[in-house]
Amino acid sequence: MDSKKVIVMALNDELESAYPPLNISIGAASTGADVVLAFSRNGINILDDHYIPIPSKGKEYLANALNDFKATSIGDLLSVAVNLGVRFVVPDIDVPENKIVSELPFEKVPLKWLLNEAAAADLFVHF
* CB contact set of 114 (below 8 Å; sequence gap of 6+): 7, 36, 38, 89, 91
Give the pLDDT confidence of 38-89 residue by residue, as tens digits. 999 889 899 988 888 888 888 888 777 787 888 899 999 999 999 999 999 9
Give the pLDDT confidence of 4-26 residue by residue, as tens digits. 999 999 999 999 999 999 999 99
Q: What is the extent of the structural domain holding 20? A: 5-126
CATH number, domain at 80? Answer: 3.40.1260.10
Q: Parallel, antiparallel, or unpaired: how do β-strands 87-91 and 34-39 relate?
A: parallel
Q: What are phi and psi of 68, to 5 degrees?
A: -60, -35
Bridge partner list, 88: 37, 106
